[in-house]
A and B are shown apart, each in its own frame.
Chain A
């Protein structure tokens, strides 16, 4: 292809084996990550008597059903069976498994980068929608369903139609107490859940460049909540510094070669995007969701919208959301009492997230119970080295083992019916954290603020005079 190219164009053409007449491409998959939920796909493979085509490019991890209190082991036989099925499948096909007691275990989207499996330029698939997280490295990363997982297992390839390229530029400087989570909730609220439907978003601008890899991962992770297929950030020195020395990352001469190649992974300055959106960083306040869809979010300083003032379609949805959430239109969102808090997930369960929460919690007591589940065993170990576990415990929060935990409630960690949870996760869907549970999404620092005040609270005054 000639003419200016986007990062998406570059990544796509580097993986395209061929294109069908209808425009669908057959793409090579560099890394395939599987978890307990892949049992349907392995069953499809077994039904055909097929083996995994590239076991060396396939990595399995126990995360969705991982018990948060490891000592006790899975109490529910169904959960135990999900984990042992993955174990059996990994062993049968010679696939590397990050098992429960592995010091490298964790949520699939946390350990991929942590292990150096996630690299710029690669195509990464996983049977999980938040695979978009890995795009933070300048990789082509997207979630797939079980039939497609079976296809990748069988052939190490996937049929895909190229998405439209979209660009979100965030220039300026984020205020104190404002994070990548707030950028994401902001653009999703501004554009709606359909605003990026099916697109591949490239995040650029000085505020994005200034983010750490953790922040960029949070941003790309949430792309899917805005309806996008994937998110990506062009790799730079921050990316290279993060990757250097990780277990599965290139070394020596390959490293030099890799870095040179990765440096070229960017959009040409005159490349065209189907949709171009700008967001000034300075305008972004700590943001929380009030409804049951991630676009139902607002600055913590705002009041809950009145459904009658929204457009026809949105007004009914807003009323239903308010009813479910037990909230009143016109009231300030700040001050809404919460029953519990959760810090963790592939969105905000990394070391920086725990540090941000601990900065608020240090020397304070939580008014409500809460659970902190680190994104991986390595994050857990690191946090314990830094003494963050003690800060959480002293505040009265439970410090648990790594896994998806209360993000999805598959492992038995759920929010009770009608209870309100301030959560650092990614989905405020009805019943996501348990039947009838009411979820408010926010950054880890904001969750910590909710914990110490017992209500949804602007974290910024609580940070005054503290090193963050």
Chain B
């Protein structure tokens, strides 16, 4: 399905829950169930257990910046989503939570979906080489270089950034001097 947006990945009404309780149960909540809350038997995620890779349609994760959409996937045990394109903020959020957003062509996504149509298959993903293999086929996926390193090393950006602390401090000083309005007026004027 194309354009599977963040409101479908996790409906807004679940977003006040604390993360500690796990977000997996909210994943695609309203798509998976009918109005009475009974699961649709033929929805792919309801048919299989232990799913860790999802093959998805175009523009997956479009819409909101809600990182909860990624939490729902990760907490449900998903390690990778593979599809032709992703919502921009969604993909960044995914990488920040160790979830791979792998880009493949429309045709490759289609053939992956066909292979997986009836029977789920064990899947191998090689992050550094950039391919996904299943049912004897090896399909390359695209991933931003900086994201690849981040996923492989499990880097935390905050630690990385704090190494640049002194560069940040001197930039700040020069910036607030040169950029008009860099500091909000009310605060400058405040005693």
**Do B181 and A258 touch (CB < 8 A)?**
yes
**Known contacts A145-B92, A147-B96, A150-B158; A22 and B145 CB within 8 A of each other:** yes
CB-CB nearest in chain B for A256: B180
Question: Number of contact residues on B: which range applies?
Answer: 35 or more
Which residues of chain B have C-beta atoms less than 8 A from A317's C-beta? 1-3
**Do B175 and A28 touch (CB < 8 A)?**
yes
Interface centre among B67, B68, B88, B184 (most CB of A within 10 A): B184
Main secondary structure on A side of the interface with B: loop
**Known contacts A227-B88, A250-B185, A293-B3; A193 and B59 CB within 8 A of each other:** yes
Q: Does B146 contact A (CB under 8 A)?
A: yes
CA distance A48 to B158 in the complex (A): 10
Interface centre among A120, A250, A261 (most CB of B within 10 A): A250
**Do A116 and B144 touch (CB < 8 A)?**
no
**Do B13 and A410 touch (CB < 8 A)?**
yes
Q: Does A79 contact B (CB under 8 A)?
A: yes
Which of B117-125, B131-139, B166-174 lies at the binding interface?
Answer: B166-174
Q: Does B152 contact A (CB under 8 A)?
A: no
CA distance A427 to B62 in the complex (A): 11
Q: Nearest Cβ in chain A — how far from B113, in angstroms?
A: 12
**Do A57 and B158 touch (CB < 8 A)?**
no
Q: How many residues on A have C-beta within 8 angstroms of the other chain's C-beta atoms?
A: 81
Q: Does B19 contact A (CB under 8 A)?
A: yes
**Known contacts A40-B19, A57-B184, A227-B62; A145 and B70 CB within 8 A of each other:** yes
**Do B96 and A148 touch (CB < 8 A)?**
yes
Which residues of chain A have C-beta atoms less than 8 A from B48's C-beta? none
Which residues of chain A have C-beta atoms less than 8 A from B85's C-beta? 194, 197
Query: Could you write out 28 A-B pairs with CB less than 8 Å apart?
Result: A14-B175, A14-B179, A56-B187, A120-B181, A129-B63, A143-B89, A144-B65, A145-B70, A145-B96, A146-B93, A147-B157, A151-B158, A154-B161, A159-B161, A194-B59, A197-B85, A197-B88, A248-B186, A250-B181, A251-B185, A261-B180, A292-B3, A316-B2, A317-B1, A320-B1, A410-B16, A427-B7, A432-B7
Q: Other than A28-B171, A258-B181, A435-B30, give 10 A-B pairs with Cβ distance below 8 A.
A: A22-B144, A56-B187, A82-B16, A119-B180, A154-B162, A155-B161, A159-B161, A161-B144, A193-B3, A194-B59
